[in-house]
């Protein structure tokens, strides 16, 4: 990161830590944080028990390939193994997003590994998602759980 050593009070990572090279990211975050700085990691997880989210999950997972998953929580290993950070707080908050069919399609095709598909495959995903949207009553309610983890720099 283009910051001096010990120059930041807080580093916040939203919906991305699972993409990092864990140990390298932890070391770099520790480098730029003050000794008593904080790291906040936030993920917005789909409520897989909700039928519409379950259907969307199947569509997306069929195209995931080798893209990392935040839901498997393997990314936590680098933080748990680091003597530089201590987990001091966790919070989970339920929330909902209201969307129409177009916004639902936009939401799904913007997922990184879907967005990187060839255009014909993205179009197929969009058609499948539109089918899901039309099988539910509008407005579409998407349930999520936002998870926030707070770490102190040791």
Answer whether residue 123 is part of any domain.
yes
Write down the pLDDT at residue 135: 97
Please state whether 42 falls in left (phi above 0), alpha (psi between -120 and 50) or beta.
beta
Number of domains in the chain: 1
Answer whether residue 13 is part of any domain.
yes
Contact 88, 151 (CB under 8 A): yes
Write down the pLDDT at residue 149: 97
Helix 119-134 and helix 51-61, axial crossing angle in degrees, nearest 10: 170
Answer whether residue 3 is part of any domain.
no
Write down the pLDDT at residue 100: 97
pLDDT digit string (tens) for 31-84?
Answer: 999 999 999 999 999 999 999 999 999 999 999 999 888 888 888 999 999 999
How would you class 98 by CB atoms within 10 Å of its CB: exposed for 0-12, middle for 13-18, buried for 19 or more? Answer: exposed
pLDDT band at 154 (very low <50, low <70, confident <90, very high): confident
CA angle centred on 64, ends 63 and 66, rounded to 5°: 130
Write down the pLDDT at residue 70: 83
pLDDT digit string (tens) for 95-109?
Answer: 999 999 999 999 999
Answer whether residue 2 is part of any domain.
no
Answer whether residue 111 is part of any domain.
yes
Write down the pLDDT at residue 38: 98
pLDDT digit string (tens) for 1-32?
Answer: 999 999 999 999 999 999 999 999 999 999 99
Answer whether residue 148 is part of any domain.
yes
> What is this structure's pTM?
0.85
Q: Look up the domain containing 111 and give its range.
A: 8-153
Answer whether residue 81 is part of any domain.
yes
Q: What is the CATH number of the domain that holds 30?
A: 3.40.50.150
């Amino acid at each position: 990161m283009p910051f001096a050593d010990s120059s930041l009070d807080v580093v916040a990572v939203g919906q991305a830590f699972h993409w990092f090279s864990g140990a390298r990211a932890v070391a770099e975050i520790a480098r730029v944080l003050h000794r008593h700085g904080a790291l906040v990691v936030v993920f917005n997880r789909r409520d897989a028990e909700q039928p519409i989210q379950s259907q969307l999950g199947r569509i997306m997972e069929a195209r995931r390939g080798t893209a990392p998953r935040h839901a498997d929580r393997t990314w936590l290993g680098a933080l748990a193994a680091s003597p530089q950070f201590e987990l001091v707080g966790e919070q989970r908050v339920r929330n909902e997003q209201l969307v129409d069919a177009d916004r639902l399609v936009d939401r799904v095709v913007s997922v990184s590994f879907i967005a990187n598909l060839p255009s014909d495959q993205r179009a197929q995903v969009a058609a499948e998602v539109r089918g899901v949207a039309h099988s539910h009553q509008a407005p579409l309610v998407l349930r999520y759980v936002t998870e926030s983890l707070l770490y102190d720099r040791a």
